[in-house]
């Protein structure tokens, strides 16, 4: 009897829900609809799997009207230097290079671009005093390896620290005395060279260059087959996370124009210490820079004694630049020219002070005072000279990074 009861209970459990569903009438239809939808989805899924996968869309490279990638289009920049000057001396000398008045110190147009994956080109056109146009630099750099590069064209040579700078990059409004006395407007030459970064524990860069040798002050031989040869070594150390130190040395050899095959040897050394705290890098910077330059020039033969004559010159400058706020700098510099000379008749000293307001890397207003002391001022009928310079420095367009 118990077994029959169990059977009856099971039948009732199975039959009653089915009877209830049959009474509703909508449930079988709902089940059929669900089965139909599942079948449709399965068919769609099978069709998608049988189709080939679409090829990935490759974004088109940005290109110019000629179809060349914009990566290789030149970046242009224009720099302007407007200068107001006061001089206490030589105001009656209209030929003076620096004289009291208002002037355009220089305009500069620069174009820079990658020629291809290995070559980079830079062209700098300069308009000193906005009166004539000059090719200041026209360079092609070839970089086959990370630590080796080659350069050809017309460029500011890496002789010393200051000579590599364009006018708008000068730490002060004017160039150091020794640079101007030895090389005039700078050692800017046509040539070719190699740059090698040595595998040292610190950053060590070595430059070897072959130069045309056209600098009127130091080289400029009468013979076309006389070249200049330059060697430069730059070393850079991280003293700590806030301080770096640079030590450099330069040597130049070439024939000058004094007489047949007279030789010029020039040498230089520079030291730069830069402090820039990582946590306040936009507010504080301190730079101490010192540079020594000298030229030893054979200057023909004395006709009376038949003794070789020499024209040796040299000098040094040291400067301090301090950024005391985000947009403000105060600077000082001492120049001396008169080392290695036979007498002190042409010795010069200069003390300079500068205050700069630089809203950004694209503009600056700088006020500079110079006190110039000539050793032979009594002979020339001069007193110590005072100069006041006010400069507006601005850049429009792409602005390449300055050298360290």
pLDDT digits (tens, 9 = 90+) for 241-299: 999 999 999 999 999 887 767 899 999 999 999 999 999 989 999 999 999 999 999 88
Mean pLDDT of the chain: 84
pLDDT in tens, 78-87: 999 999 999 9
More confident residue, 21 or 303: 303
Coil/strand/helix, residue 238: strand
Classify each residue of 187-211 as buried b or exposed e, where b means 16 or more C-beta atoms within 10 Å of its C-beta: bbbebebebeeeeeeeebbebebbb
Which DSSP string do the residues of 23-90 spell out, in sequence order? Answer: HH-HHHHHHHHHHHHHHHHHHHHHHHHHSPPPPPPPPPPPB-TTS-BGGGSPEEEEEEEEEEEEESS-
The yes-or-no verdict on residue 68 having pLDDT over 90 is no
| pLDDT at res. 286 | 98
User: For a pLDDT cut of 70, what percent of the chain falls above it?
Assistant: 77
Model confidence, pTM: 0.79
Residue 374's SS3 state is: strand
In the CATH scheme, what is the code of domain 81-104+130-397?
A: 2.40.160.10
Decide which of 365 and 261 is more confident.
365
Residue ranges of the domains in the chain? Answer: 81-104+130-397
- Mean pLDDT of all residues in 332-356: 91
Q: Is the pLDDT confidence value at 130 over 80?
A: no
Among residues 334, 396, 391, the alpha carbon closest in space to that of 367 is found at 391
Average pLDDT (219-232) is: 88
Cα distances from 202 to residues 58, 199, 206, 247, in angstroms, run: 43, 8, 13, 11
Output the pLDDT for position 344.
Answer: 74
């Amino acid at each position: 009897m118990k077994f029959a009861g169990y059977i009856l209970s099971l039948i009732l459990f199975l039959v009653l829900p089915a009877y209830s569903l049959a009474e509703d009438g909508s449930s079988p239809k709902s089940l059929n609809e669900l089965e139909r939808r599942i079948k449709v989805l399965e068919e769609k899924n099978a069709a998608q799997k049988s189709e080939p996968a679409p090829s990935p869309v490759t974004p088109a490279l940005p290109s110019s009207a000629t179809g060349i990638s914009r990566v290789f289009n030149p970046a242009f920049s224009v720099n302007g230097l407007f200068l107001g000057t006061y001089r206490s001396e030589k105001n009656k000398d209209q030929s003076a290079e620096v004289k009291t008045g208002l002037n355009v110190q220089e305009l500069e147009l620069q174009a820079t671009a990658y020629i291809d994956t290995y070559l980079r080109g830079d062209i700098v056109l300069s308009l000193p005093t906005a009166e004539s146009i000059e090719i200041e630099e026209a360079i092609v750099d070839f970089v086959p390896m990370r630590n080796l590069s080659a350069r050809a064209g017309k460029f500011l040579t890496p002789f010393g620290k200051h000579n590599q700078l364009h006018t708008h990059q000068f730490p002060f409004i004017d160039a150091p005395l020794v640079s101007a006395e030895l090389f005039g407007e700078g050692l800017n030459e046509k040539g070719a060279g190699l740059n090698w970064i040595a595998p040292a524990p610190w950053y060590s860069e070595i430059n070897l260059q072959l130069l045309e040798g056209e600098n009127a002050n130091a080289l400029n031989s009468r013979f076309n087959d006389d070249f200049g040869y330059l060697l430069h070594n730059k070393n850079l150390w991280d003293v700590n996370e806030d301080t770096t130190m640079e030590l450099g040395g330069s040597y130049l050899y070439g024939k000058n124009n004094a007489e047949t095959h007279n030789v010029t040897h020039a040498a230089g050394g520079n030291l730069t210490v830069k402090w820039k705290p990582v946590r306040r890098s936009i507010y504080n910077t301190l730079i101490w820079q010192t540079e020594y330059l000298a030229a030893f020039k054979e200057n023909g033969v004395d006709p009376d004694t038949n003794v070789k004559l020499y024209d040796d010159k040299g000098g040094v400058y040291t400067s301090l630049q301090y950024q005391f706020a985000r947009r403000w700098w105060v600077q000082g510099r001492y120049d001396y020219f008169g080392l290695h000379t036979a007498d002190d008749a042409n010795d010069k000293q200069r003390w300079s002070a500068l205050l700069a307001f630089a809203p950004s890397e694209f503009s600056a207003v700088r006020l500079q005072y110079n006190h110039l002391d000539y050793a032979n001022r009594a002979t020339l009928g001069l007193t110590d000279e005072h100069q006041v310079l006010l400069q507006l420095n601005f850049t429009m367009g792409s602005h390449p990074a300055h050298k360290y």
